[in-house]
Amino acid sequence: KAGVTQTPRYLIKTRGQQVTLSCSPISGHRSVSWYQQTPGQGLQFLFEYFSETQRNKGNFPGRFSGRQFSNSRSEMNVSTLELGDSALYLCASSLNPGLAEETQYFGPGTRLLVL
């Protein structure tokens, strides 16, 4: 069974631009979560989607948004990019929703560099 895939793997943008990252979960997994990983802040939860609805949201500004499609694929969007948005963005899928108890399977991440 194929793992979680994320595209693109690397991305360079400039301040003020917007970016869309894509995530395809493991086949049969219905929940997708997004995380931001930076050397300074570590791994921080962005949001969780299930059945095309946002179930949970972390403490990020409204510039960060996401959505989930009927096939469970998910996208996240960051508008008006700032230098501090440079990070590795990780997507994780799980069979069922539930941040606390469900095992998350992570993709390789998209590394975003904002210049």
Partner 1 sequence: AQSVTQPDIHITVSEGASLELRCNYSYGATPYLFWYVQSPGQGLQLLLKYFSGDTLVQGIKGFEAEFKRSQSSFNLRKPSVHWSDAAEYFCAVGFADFGNEKLTFGTGTRLTIIP
Minimum distance from residue 69 beta carbon to partner 1 (Å): 21
Compute the distance between CA of residue 48 and CA of residue 52 in angstroms, rounded to an integer: 10
Q: Which of residues 58-97 bind partner 1 (CB under 8 A)?
A: 90, 92
Residue 40 CA: distances (Å) to CA of 36, 68, 84? 11, 29, 10
The residue written with tokens 């959505």 in the block is 67
Per CB under 8 A, 108 contacts partner 1: yes
Residues in contact with partner 1, counted by CB under 8 A, come to a total of: 19
Q: Which of residues 45-64 bind partner 1 (CB under 8 A)?
A: 45, 56
Minimum distance from residue 83 beta carbon to partner 1 (Å): 22
Residue 67 CA: distances (Å) to CA of 20, 27, 31? 11, 18, 11
Tell me the window of 14-22, 24-32, 61-69, 98-106 that interacts with partner 1 (CB under 8 A): 98-106
Let me know: does 63 contact 79? Beta carbons within 8 Å. Answer: yes
Minimum distance from residue 32 beta carbon to partner 1 (Å): 13
Strands 87-94 and 31-38: antiparallel
Binding residues (CB under 8 A) for partner 1: these are 4, 33, 42-43, 45, 56, 90, 92, 98-101, 103-109
